[in-house]
Amino acid sequence: MYLVTNEINKIKAYIQAHPQVSLTEKMIVEIVSSSTAYDVRSFLDGIIFGGSAKSTEKLISFARADNNEFQFLGLLYRSIGGIIGLIDARKHGIQSSGDLAKYSKLPPFTVSRYLPKKPDIIAKQEYFKHIYHQLIEMDYKLKTGMLPPESFWPSIYGLFAS
C-alpha cells in the first residue's frame, strides 16, 4: 500500500503543479512509471562494471529519444534502489540468491548476474547511495514542476558524468 500511496501522491503533486492541464490516462502511466521499454541492465552494467562514459551517454540518448522522463527516471531509481538493497541484505547476512532477490526487490536473474560482482558493488556503495538520493530528488522536482522538463535530460547527463 505504501507504493500505491506514493504513486497517488506523485499524481497529486503533478496536478497541483500543473492545474491548467487535463490529466489523461497516458499522463498517469508516464507519471507512475508502471511499465517501461528500457533495458536498464546495460546502464547498470556500465556503472557497476566500469563501462565507458560513451556507453552511458548512448543509453541516455536512446531513452531521451522516447522523451519519457518519468519512465526513465522511475526505472533508474528503482534499479539503483535494488542494488542498494543487495548491499544492505549482504550486510545483514542474507546469502541465498532467492532471499537476496526478495530483500532487494530485484528479479532473481538480476541478482544472479550481480552476485559475482559483489566486491565491485560494495566498493561503490556510497556512489550508489548518492545517485539514488539525487534521482529521488530529481523525480520529486520534475513531478512538482520545480525542475522544468527541458532541464531534466541535461541534469541526468550531469549526474552520471560526475
For 77-92, write each residue's pLDDT tens digit. 888 888 898 889 888 8
Q: What is the DSSP string of the chain?
A: -HHHHHHHHHHHHHHHH-TTSPP-HHHHHHHHT------HHHHHHHHHTT--HHHHHHHHHHHHHHT-HHHHHHHHHHHHHHHHHHHHHHHTT--SHHHHHHHHT--HHHHHHHGGGHHHHHHTHHHHHHHHHHHHHHHHHHHHTSS-HHHHHHHHHHHHH-
| Extents of the domains making up the chain | 2-161
Asked if residue 52 lies in contact with residue 46, where contact means CB atoms within 8 angstroms, the answer is yes
- Go through 71-100 and write b for each residue having 16 or more CB atoms within 10 A of its CB, e for each that does not: bbbbbbbbbbbbbbbbbebbeeebeeeeeb
How far from 133 is each of 23, 80, 94, 121, CA to CA, in Å?
A: 28, 10, 24, 17
C-alpha cell at 158: 550531469
Phi, psi of 25, deg, nearest 5:
-60, -40
Q: Which residues of the chain are modeled with pLDDT < 70?
A: 1-4, 33-56, 58-59, 62-63, 65-67, 162
pTM for the model: 0.66
pLDDT of residue 67: 62
For 134-159, write each residue's pLDDT tens digit: 988 888 888 888 988 788 888 888 88
- At residue 33, the pLDDT reads 56
Q: Which of 124, 62, 56 is nearest to 87 (CA)?
A: 124
pLDDT at 49 (0 to 100): 65
Dist CA 72 CA 77 (whole Å): 9
Q: What is the CA radius of gyration of the chain?
A: 16
